Amino acid sequence: MTSPARPTLSAALDGCTIVIAVDRRSSELAAALERHGAVVRHAPALTIVPHIDDEALISATRRLIAEPPDVVVATTGVGFRGWIEAADEAGLAEELLMALGRAQIVARGPKARGAIQQAGLTADWVAESETSAELGEFLLAEGVAGRRVAVQHHGSGADGLDELFTRAGAEVVSLTVYRWGPPPDPAAVSRSAAAAAAGEVDAVLFTSAPGAAEWLAAAAREGALDRIVAGAASGQVLMAAVGPITAGPLVDVGIEPLIAERGRLGSLVRAVVTYFGGGRAPSAQTAAGRLELRSGGAVLDDRLIPLSRTGVAVLRELFVAAGAVVPRQHLQTALPRSGDSAHAVEMAVARLREALGPDVIRTIVKRGYRLDVLEQKEGPA
């Protein structure tokens, strides 16, 4: 039995292929994008490996119940929720919440605060920058000497907080609730990177810094990273992150990603929808109207016109040239499967004119073709 189709909210992402390099809540994110018309490809670069049966976690939880902490540090929402779930599995949730309820609770960002509230507790302070550095500075200024500090770590566990608080005289109880594991399908990650480099993907979305770093590493192993960086700079592919911490590995390789305003999946979806549906994507004002390029076709005056892979490849070269003449020989090399046939270029241009209208592409005799633009291509606002 097939599930009922989800209602469509908009056509903002029609013609877009979007890679989500996400493990946790990937189905939720995909569904939200699909409701705006996107085709979604799953390529999680890492998996979250929970440790619900981890004896060390349960042992540390029992110690905190017996000797409640003065300070609780929650670094991730998924980790804090996982800790409460692990305690519940062991029959310790009620006692743990009572112990934590007497402590000062600080959170590394809104997702951690949300998990704290979901558990029925209240965050006393939240790091606006969502960084462990700001969190550490706050507690050092408050003073941790002689205090018992419970630190829930993110997947890698290497945030330096344990060492920082220990040097400042605190008694630290360290808790790692989950760890990062290998991607479920490494080949899918490699294929997604190659597709992004080839212009077959419109956007790649990330929700964790380790996941972003590993996806970029996979792109480097495929020899695709330089083309992805160049494609991001030209607007060929949008790289988007749920928050500034997630964006860090992208910035490190020279990419300026789109960053969601509120550090939530819903905010990330809205940012991507606004980018493609709100006039922020690169465009060219042609004689036939405003033109935007998608991996699945062209958007001409807000109407998606599906195109073949060959048509998209030829139109992309003309689009990037922004009205300059593109020689036939250059277009010939851009064709996916017809590199030796000059006739293939003529046929591709003819099909584009048939789909887009005769006023979009102009033939320059003995030289090649150009996009008939009225003004230079626009970039993101």
Q: In what order do the strands lie in the sheet with 39-42?
A: 39-42, 17-20, 203-206, 238-241, 258-259
Cα dist from 63 to 164, 213, 374, whole Å? 21, 35, 71
CA distance 352 to 298: 10
pLDDT mean over 123-148: 93
CA-based Rg of the chain, rounded to a whole angstrom?
Answer: 25
Q: Is the pLDDT of residue 51 over 80?
A: no
pLDDT level of residue 155 (50, 70, 90 thresholds): low
For residues 122-136, one letter each, b for 16 or more C-beta atoms within 10 angstroms of the residue's C-beta and e for the rest, the string is: ebeebbeebbbeebb
pTM given for the model: 0.76
Contact by Cβ (8 Å): 360, 274 = no
Comparison of pLDDT for 188 and 344, the residue scoring more: 188
pLDDT mean over 233-255: 91
Backbone dihedral angles phi then psi of residue 364, each to the nearest 5 degrees: -110, 110
**In the chain, where the domains are located:** 17-44+183-260, 49-179, 284-371
Half-sphere exposure of 4 (CA within 13 A, CB side): 3
- The pLDDT, as a whole number, for residue 216 is 97
| Average confidence score pLDDT of the chain | 88
Q: Which fold has domain 17-44+183-260?
A: Rossmann fold (3.40.50)
CATH code matching the domain that covers 49-179, chosen among 3.30.750.24, 2.30.130.10, 1.20.1250.20, 3.40.50.10090: 3.40.50.10090
Percent share of the chain, pLDDT over 70? 92
- The pLDDT, as a whole number, for residue 109 is 87
CA distance 226 to 49: 31
DSSP string, 68-121: --SEEEE--HHHHHHHHHHHHHTT-HHHHHHHHHTSEEEESSHHHHHHHHHTT-
Q: Hey, what amino acid is at 307? A: L
For residues 62-96, one letter each, b for 16 or more C-beta atoms within 10 angstroms of the residue's C-beta and e for the rest, the string is: eebbeebbebbbbbbbbbbbbbbebbeeeebbebb
Q: Is the pLDDT of residue 272 over 60?
A: yes
Q: Which helix (H) or strand (E) holds 18?
A: strand 17-20
pLDDT mean over 260-276: 88
Q: Is the pLDDT of residue 163 over 80?
A: yes
Which tokens go with 211? 């996941």
pLDDT mean over 193-220: 93
3-state SS class at 172: strand
- The pLDDT, as a whole number, for residue 337 is 64
Closest Cα partner for 264 from 281, 236, 241? 241
Which tokens go with 167? 């040097």
pLDDT level of residue 350 (50, 70, 90 thresholds): very high
DSSP string, 131-151: -HHHHHHHHHHH--TT-EEEE
Q: Is the pLDDT of residue 38 over 50?
A: yes
Write down the number of H helices and E strands in the chain: 15, 19
- The pLDDT, as a whole number, for residue 153 is 87
Comparison of pLDDT for 141 and 57, the residue scoring more: 141
CATH code matching the domain that covers 284-371, chosen among 3.40.50.1110, 3.40.190.10, 1.10.10.10, 3.40.50.620: 1.10.10.10
Cα dist from 373 to 41, 166, 275, 304, 381, whole Å? 33, 63, 22, 19, 19
pLDDT mean over 266-295: 92
For residue range 92-127, what is the model confidence (pLDDT) as tens digits? 999 999 999 999 999 998 889 999 999 999 999 999
Same-fold call for 49-179 versus 284-371: no
Q: Is the pLDDT of residue 158 over 80?
A: no
Q: Is the pLDDT of residue 60 over 90?
A: yes
pLDDT level of residue 375 (50, 70, 90 thresholds): low
3-state SS class at 320: helix
For 127-259, where are the alpha helices, taking DSSP H only? 132-142, 161-167, 186-197, 209-221, 225-234, 244-252
